[in-house]
């Protein structure tokens, strides 16, 4: 009898140990798959998200205090609206919704967009790391919307952001939701003005938006929200705009702009949010870093900022004051600059 009791106790202990190991393993997997699970947003993270939105209307972060996210496409606006309004082109990565009842070119555009996204996705890992749609997100595919006009563009933006935001981006933007279960791109909305003809090579505007928004989501999904997630808008905008420009150099800055960057923009603080210099200044710094240190070093820097503050990652590579001085010195004043005040 005593042996039977001991045997039962031993069995229970072994089972509990196995359960504990399984839970530990699941937690470990979760902490290394930042787009999915095991996140609690701290007050400082929420404060950072709210402040970040003030810098850029092209990328909107909405809060998601309560989960879970709908990790599928059943709740997409293009699926829920009245029959006959939205058509869709779907592949392994995306669902592109277009107005099939209004625009004869809608399906052609949707197909071009899907093909363009497929090509961009191939470039993302070497620059920004893992792209999580759709394999890591229970089959959810990235939703992309092609509205017919300004009113529909703003209506979609309002519905996706859930807080009445209207857009100021000329060619398109995306809405990112961040919450305890991770980061989700609720949708990319491409403004109709980004499409000018039936030849994809003749429409650099929508391609630029897609590159920027895919890079933006990929970076946000890579952040470890259990750590210090304060990221400077100039850095995030810089890396996403640099990727969006696809190797095209920025125009030169005017002398007064260089002077402002020298005096007011520091690598261990947020750039001033005036005259879009937080975006253009950040982009010029990332371009300088890419040119000076190389693409592999830039990819390593981006990867480091997923788990540590930007200035700490930069300081691990060089003295911040010296790095700032080298960047400013690299800027060539030009009175014909197209960077506007």
Mean pLDDT in residue range 290-310? 93
Does residue 95 fall inside a structural domain?
yes
Do 213 and 241 belong to one domain? no
**Which is higher by pLDDT, 172 or 28?**
172
pLDDT, tens only, 168-224: 567 888 888 876 666 788 899 998 888 876 555 567 888 999 999 999 999 988 887
Residues contacting residue 3 through CB under 8 Å, at least 6 positions apart: none
Do 64 and 196 belong to one domain? yes
The domain boundary, picked from 191, 222, 253, lies at 222
Answer whether residue 335 shows pLDDT above 60: no
Do 143 and 69 belong to one domain? yes
Does residue 339 fall inside a structural domain?
no
Do 209 and 68 belong to one domain? yes
Does residue 38 fall inside a structural domain?
no
Domain that holds residue 27: 1-32
Asked if the bond preceding 65 is cis, omega within 30° of 0, the reply is: no
- Confidence (pLDDT) at 312: 92
Q: How many whole angstroms from its chain centre is CA 252?
A: 27
Residue-averaged pLDDT of the chain: 78
Tell me the pLDDT band of 324, cut-offs 50, 70 and 90: very high
Tell me the pLDDT band of 321, cut-offs 50, 70 and 90: very high
Answer whether residue 101 shows pLDDT above 70: yes
Mean pLDDT in residue range 304-332? 91
pTM: 0.82
The structure tokens 């530990």 sit at 24
Q: Cβ(94)–Cβ(117) under 8 Å?
A: yes
Do 134 and 275 belong to one domain? no
Question: How far is the C-alpha of 224 from the C-alpha of 230, rounded, in Å?
Answer: 11
Does residue 338 fall inside a structural domain?
no
pLDDT, tens only, 118-160: 999 999 999 999 888 877 777 789 999 999 888 888 888 888 8
Q: How many whole angstroms from its chain centre is CA 87?
A: 26
- CA quadruple 97, 100, 104, 108: dihedral positive or negative? positive
Nearest to 234 by CA among 40, 48, 90, 56: 56
**Which is higher by pLDDT, 205 or 328?**
328
Answer whether residue 7 shows pLDDT above 60: no
Nearest to 105 by CA among 187, 196, 169, 174: 196
Answer whether residue 296 shows pLDDT above 90: yes
Answer whether residue 35 shows pLDDT above 50: no
Does residue 128 fall inside a structural domain?
yes
The domain boundary, picked from 171, 195, 222, lies at 222
**DSSP alpha helix (H) spans, 54-142:** 77-80, 106-128
Neighbour-count burial of 156, counting CB atoms closer than 10 A to its CB (0-12 exposed, 13-18 middle, 19+ buried): buried
Assigned token pair, 223 = 């952040």
The structure tokens 């609690």 sit at 40
Do 128 and 28 belong to one domain? no
- Confidence (pLDDT) at 78: 87
Torsion of CA 144, 150, 152, 158, to 10 degrees: 80
Phi then psi dihedrals of residue 134, to 5 deg: -100, -5
Do 184 and 266 belong to one domain? no
Residue percentage of the chain with pLDDT more than 70: 70
Mean pLDDT in residue range 288-292? 94
Give the CATH number for residue 190: 3.40.30
- Confidence (pLDDT) at 305: 92
Give the chain's domain count: 3
Answer whether residue 15 shows pLDDT above 80: no
**Which is higher by pLDDT, 110 or 274?**
110
Does residue 256 fall inside a structural domain?
yes
Question: How far is the C-alpha of 278 from the C-alpha of 338, rounded, in Å?
Answer: 16
Does residue 6 fall inside a structural domain?
yes
Tell me the pLDDT band of 33, cut-offs 50, 70 and 90: very low
Does residue 215 fall inside a structural domain?
yes
- Confidence (pLDDT) at 173: 87
Assigned token pair, 182 = 């991770």
């Amino acid at each position: 009898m005593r042996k039977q009791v001991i045997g039962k106790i031993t069995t229970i202990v072994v089972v509990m140990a196995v359960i504990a190991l399984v839970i530990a393993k699941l937690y470990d997997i979760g902490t290394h798959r930042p787009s999915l699970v095991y996140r609690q947003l701290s007050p400082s993270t929420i404060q950072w998200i709210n402040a970040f939105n003030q810098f850029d209307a092209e990328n909107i972060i909405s809060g998601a205090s309560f989960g879970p996210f709908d990790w599928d496409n059943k709740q997409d606006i293009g699926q829920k609206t009245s029959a006959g309004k939205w058509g869709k082109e779907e592949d392994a990565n995306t669902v592109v919704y277009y107005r099939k009842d209004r625009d004869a070119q809608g399906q052609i555009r949707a197909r071009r967009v899907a093909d363009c996204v497929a090509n961009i996705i191939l470039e993302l890992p070497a620059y920004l790391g893992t792209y999580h749609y759709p394999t890591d997100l229970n089959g959810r595919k990235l939703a992309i919307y092609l509205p017919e006009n300004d009113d529909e563009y703003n209506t979609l933006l309002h519905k996706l952001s859930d807080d009445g935001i209207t857009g100021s981006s000329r060619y398109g933007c995306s809405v990112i939701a961040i919450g305890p279960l991770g980061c989700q791109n609720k949708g990319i909305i491409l403004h109709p003005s980004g499409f000018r003809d039936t030849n994809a090579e003749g429409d650099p505007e929508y391609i630029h938006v897609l590159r920027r928004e895919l890079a933006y989501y990929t970076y946000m999904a890579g952040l470890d929200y259990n750590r210090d997630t304060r990221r400077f808008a100039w850095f995030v905008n810089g890396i996403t705009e640099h990727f969006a420009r696809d190797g095209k150099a920025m125009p030169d800055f005017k002398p007064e702009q260089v002077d402002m960057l020298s005096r007011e923009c520091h690598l261990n603080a947020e750039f001033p949010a005036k005259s879009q210099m937080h975006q253009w200044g950040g982009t010029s710094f990332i371009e300088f870093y890419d040119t000076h240190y190389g693409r592999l070093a830039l990819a390593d820097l981006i990867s480091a900022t997923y788990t540590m503050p930007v200035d700490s990652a930069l300081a691990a590579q060089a003295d911040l004051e010296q790095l700032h001085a080298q960047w400013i010195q690299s800027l060539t004043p030009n009175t014909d600059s197209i960077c506007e005040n």
